[in-house]
Amino acid sequence: MAALAVLLFAYVLSQFFRAFLAIVASDLTRELGLDAAQLGSLSAVWFAAFAFTQFPVGVTLDRFGPRGTIAGFMLLAVAGSAWFAAAGSYASLIVAMALIGAGCAPVLMGSLYYFGRVAPPERFAMMASITIGVGTFGNLLGATPLALAVARFGWRPSIAAIAAVTLLAAALVMLVLRDPPQVRREGEQAGVLAGLGEIARIRALWLMLPLMLVSYAVVIALRSLWIAPFFGQVHGFDAVERGNAALAMGAALSLGALCYGPFERWIGGPKSATLAGSVVTAATLAALGLAGHASALAAVALYVVVGAIGMTYGILMAHARLFFPPHLLGRGVTAMNFLFIGGAGVVQWLSGQFVQAQTVAGAAPADTYAHLHLAFGLALALATAAYVMAPARPVASVVTA
């Protein structure tokens, strides 16, 4: 229980760092002269550093265990947030965000690795859903609570305080967490690329790959990128109303992730839970495309459904985890996480190009976002169709090519 508590504490902070930039953006613009493109680049640097750090994280998890991996990398987040608080230029902020992204990279994967090694396989999905559900509330802490702190103390002292809290979390991980016994094969290499070929030969993962690239990507694209423009341009929401819509969807993301654990056990396994959630989410995205412009209240409700039902990330990860042998668990879950995060980055870029092209062509906002929602729904439906053919559980004779 103590280990779960400190891992949740660390993951709440990791989620906080995904959301805090929007709150201090106006201060950065006013004080350091940053424009919208530079602010966007800061966010992109965080995700890029987070994604590419997954590979060394996987190696260190398999070789050294989660305790030192999580705590050690979190020191980068401590340094990055302290650097951010003291930054006096755009270049300094870029470095700070890269350090924070790299420092947050092992928190969730280290937690899943730990649960995968110490908990029975049938409990992994429940532990993952609890971690992701509770941790996602960090997004909410990076909204109104941070805004209040910035208004009261200023953005630099507020971020410096977060650096201190992050240092506390790293220390607690070192004090409380205990590494499970190492699992190594005789003569096994532990380099960054070692084991990736073996992972790539797990044929069951091939059928999960499209859903890994798409499922998290379309949900996070709506929450982090398009919810405010959609409700502002199509339904005329002001800043407060757009914030309330985003808050509702964010809360739904957290609650949905929490509920997937017991739902997975009730429905009979992670594949059934993921499949049900993906079908409902694709249908909801289609409904947004067909009727999301007609009623603001209905559109908010549909976004909440996408948030609550679409957060299949943890359950899909639990399904993939069943196919990783113990010696590849760290590299396996981090490779899968790279696909989730990488897919999110690609979908956000592609959707941005699409919306910009529609705007230049003079399309009405209602039509633009209708087509965007339909495209997201279609992509998710196609990925789900491939996932239907994935095996629910590993069979020794067909796991690898």
What single-letter DSSP state applies at residue 292?
T
Please calculate the CA angle 10-14-15 and round it to the nearest 5 degrees: 120
Residue 291 makes CB contacts below 8 A (sequence gap 6+) with: 298
- Greatest extent of the chain over all pairs of C-alpha atoms, in Å: 63
pLDDT for 348: 75
Give 189's pLDDT tier (boundaries 50, 70, 90).
Answer: low
Angle at 43 between CA 79 and CA 234, to 5 degrees: 150
Residue 77 scores a pLDDT above 90: yes
pLDDT at 251: 86
pLDDT range class, residue 127, cuts 50, 70, 90 = confident
Mean per-residue pLDDT, 351-369: 88
What number is the average pLDDT over the span 343-361?
82
In angstroms, what CA-CA distances link 17 with 80, 94, 155, 397?
11, 14, 14, 43
- What integer is the mean pLDDT of 54-62? 85
User: What's the rounded Cα separation, in Å, for the pair 318 and 302?
Assistant: 26
Q: pLDDT of 145-187, one tens digit each?
A: 887 888 889 999 999 999 999 999 999 999 999 988 776 555 4
pLDDT at 259 over 70: yes
Mean pLDDT of 298-306: 96
For residue 390, pLDDT beyond 90: yes
What are the pLDDT digits (tens) for 230-245? Answer: 888 899 988 678 778 8
Task: Summarize the confidence of residues 257-270 as an average pLDDT.
Answer: 86
Please give the pLDDT value at position 398.
41
Q: What integer is the mean pLDDT of 292-310?
A: 95
What is residue 282's predicted lDDT score, i.e. its pLDDT? 98
Q: Please compute the mean of the pLDDT values over residues 40-68 and round it to a whole number.
A: 84
Confidence of residue 192 (pLDDT cuts 50, 70, 90): low
Q: C-alpha angle 152/158/162, rounded to 5°?
A: 145
| Least confident stretch, 197-201, 294-298, 384-388 | 197-201
Is residue 401 scored above 50 in pLDDT? no
* Residues shown for the chain: 401
Q: How many CB atoms lie within 10 A of CB 186?
A: 4
Find the mean pLDDT for residues 113-117. Answer: 83
What integer pLDDT is reported at residue 359 of this predicted model?
A: 83
pLDDT per residue as tens digits for the range 303-337: 999 999 998 988 898 899 889 887 777 778 888 88
- Mean pLDDT over the full length of the chain: 86
One DSSP character per residue, 56-82 reads HHHHHHHHH-HHHHHHHHHHHHHHHHH
Question: Could you read off the pLDDT of 203-240 as tens digits, one per residue?
Answer: 889 999 999 999 998 998 888 778 878 888 899 988 67
Is pLDDT of 252 > 60?
A: yes
Whether the per-residue pLDDT at 188 is higher than 70: the answer is: no
What pLDDT shows up at residue 385? 97
Burial (CB count <10 Å: 0-12, 13-18, 19+), residue 216: buried
Q: Is the pLDDT reported for residue 108 higher than 60?
A: yes
Note the pTM of the prediction, 2 decimals: 0.76
Within 8 A by CB and 6+ apart from 344, the residues are: 47, 216, 217, 220, 221
